[in-house]
Amino acid sequence: MTDTSIYAGRRARLAAQLGRDGIAIVPTAPERQRNRDSDFLFRHDSYFYYLTGFTEPNAWLLLAGDGRATLFSAPKDLEREIWDGYRLGPDAAPAALGIDEAFSVADLDSKLPKLLENKSTVWYPFATHKGLETRVDGWLQSVRARVRFGALCPEEQRDLCGPLDEMRLVKDAHEQDVMRRAAQISARAHIRAMQLSARMLREGKDVREYHLDAELLHEFRLGGSQYPAYSSIVAAGANACVLHYRADVAPVHAGDLVLIDAGCELDSYASDITRTFPAGGKFTGPQRALYDLVLASQDAAVAATKAGNRFNDPHEATVKVLAQGMLDVGLLDANKVGSVDDVIEKRAYFPFYMHRTSHWLGMDVHDSGSYVEPTQVGEVSERKDPLSNEIIKNRPSRILHPGMVLTIEPGIYVRPGEGVPEQFHNIGIRIEDDAIVTATGCELISRGVPVNGDEIEALMR
Ligand code: GLY
Ligand code: MN
Ligand code: MN
């Protein structure tokens, strides 16, 4: 386990925002049954981990506004530990985790009302634990039963996600270090998958998407990663045009592109990398033309990623390059859609680029943190969406600060359709890297796997 002072520091910063008479309730994730005696693989709750560094299931943190931290955790139980594994137990928890006191989770319902008594505000995450409000309600009922004896019952309930999301948005040095290592492992896995594809095809083997998926998993675990940060996408040929495709059994043909979107989770932090490569190791002309266009759009987005710029700037830079490129290569017909400005204004690029360029990255692959600039939430403007005709309310996009981490992931997806040049049919390309914002630009932590088309061909030879 890491130095407990990291978690103590975060708890102190959070406690300072709860109010002197505030108290926060933070459960870890529930265990989920898969079937009969099998559970889904347990993954702790990100908020809970952020404040404790504790990965056992069945645990709760109570944090009071004065900074006092109380843990409820699974009690020592030899029989359960023989079946399910080691438990820290409440007796050892204070020293091991640097918290003030700990009790068995079996005492949660009996002790919680006492902890909530005489507080003014109860904070808990509104967005992540279905049914938690009912439990809080039950504990508050117990407090109310004691008001005749002079107890005060909290009158206010507030969403803990707000302050925690803001804290999580800017990654400290420890988090950045873990994220760099996660991205390095994932980069190696992408290289291995590319090389396996070319090697098996050279050997005349029947290559399937799952072969490449297996290679990714192998390298993730070899690097010490606990599990993939999300379901890996390994999409051969036309499957690349399905945005949430999963690695399946489809054959990988030498002339096709393969799109792999896969990243490992290391010590609770995600990486998220996409590479698109020619299965046999050599791009065709049309594939390379679109590939270089997506890469140029990513270059523009990377150049727009720096402190002081806004979260939307990389997306807008991407769209500008893609829109011009779609006109240049003939995916869009200027006679029909007009100039590049018209393409952007009318979102005519949307049939080929239908997702955003970035999302926050951290403990969750789509990490927490507002995409709106908090100092400007009141500045609302309206515009009519040219495709849906809906009125969209816009608020100024988030200003980037050093330590924020985001993905930069432009793409082009060409489904066959009227007027769509046949040479581009069924080509799906995305290039995704992970960027730490710095004062002067950004650090691309996922470039252990190349993006340049020539470099990809070279490593597959
Ligand atoms: N792999 C999920 C994403 O790229 O957002
Ligand atoms: Mn991805
Ligand atoms: Mn992503």
Cβ of 356 less than 6 Å from ligand 1:
no
Rounded to an integer, what distance in angstroms lies between the CA atom of residue 157 and that of residue 134? Answer: 12
Q: For residue 224, what are its two tokens?
A: 């010490």
Please give the mean pLDDT across all residues of the chain.
Answer: 97
Instruction: Give the model's confidence band at 120: pLDDT under 50 very low, under 70 low, under 90 confident, else very high.
Output: very high
Tell me the C-alpha distance between 294 and 304, whole Å.
15
Contact residues for 340 (Cβ-Cβ < 8 A; gap 6+): 320, 323, 324, 327
Task: Note the pLDDT of residue 3.
Answer: 87
The domains of the chain are located at 5-165, 170-460
Spatial separation of the C-alpha atoms in residues 243 and 427, rounded to whole Å: 12
Q: Average pLDDT of 401-421?
A: 97
Q: What is the mean pLDDT of residues 173-197?
A: 98
For the annotated catalytic residues, the residue numbers are: 37, 244, 261, 272, 355, 359, 366, 409, 413, 430, 432
* Cα 167 to Cα 345: distance, rounded to the nearest angstrom: 35
Measured CA to CA in angstroms, residue 129 lies from 47, 52, 124, 160, 389 at distances of 11, 18, 9, 12, 35
Mean pLDDT, to the nearest integer, of 376-393? 94
Sequence letter at residue 64: A
Distance between CA atoms of residues 46 and 206, nearest Å: 40
CATH number of 5-165: 3.40.350.10
* Beta strand 60-64 pairing with 69-73: antiparallel
Average pLDDT over residues 347-376: 97
pLDDT at 383 > cutoff 50: yes
Q: Which atom of ligand 1 is nearest to the CA of 430?
A: 4
Identify which of 186, 230, 233, 259 to mutate to test ligand 1's pocket (most ligand atoms within 8 A of the CB). Answer: 230
- pLDDT score of 1: 45
Closest C-alpha residue for ligand 1 atom 4? 272
The two structure tokens encoding residue 265: 């989770």
User: Is residue 29 classed as helix, strand or coil in its secondary structure?
Assistant: coil
Nearest CA to ligand 1 atom 5: 366
User: Do 5-165 and 170-460 share a fold?
Assistant: no
The model's pLDDT over 225-239, given as tens digits with 9 standing for 90+, comes to: 999 999 999 999 999
Residues 170-460: name the CATH superfamily: Creatinase/methionine aminopeptidase superfamily (3.90.230.10)
pLDDT (mean) for 264-284: 98
> Which position has the higher pLDDT, 8 or 146?
8
Decide if pLDDT at 427 tops 50: yes
Q: How many CA atoms lie within 13 A of 373 on its CB side?
A: 18
Which pLDDT value is given to residue 366?
98
The ligand with the least distance to the CA atom of 274 is 2
pLDDT of residue 247: 87
CB 261 less than 6 A from any atom of ligand 1: yes
| pLDDT mean over 66-90 | 97
pLDDT band per the 50, 70, 90 thresholds, residue 2: low
Q: What is the pTM of this model?
A: 0.96
Beta-sheet pairing, 156-159 with 121-124:
parallel
* Residue found by looking up tokens 């987005």 in the block: 301
Phi/psi of residue 201, nearest 5 degrees: -65, -40
CA angle 56, 58, 62 (to 5 degrees): 95
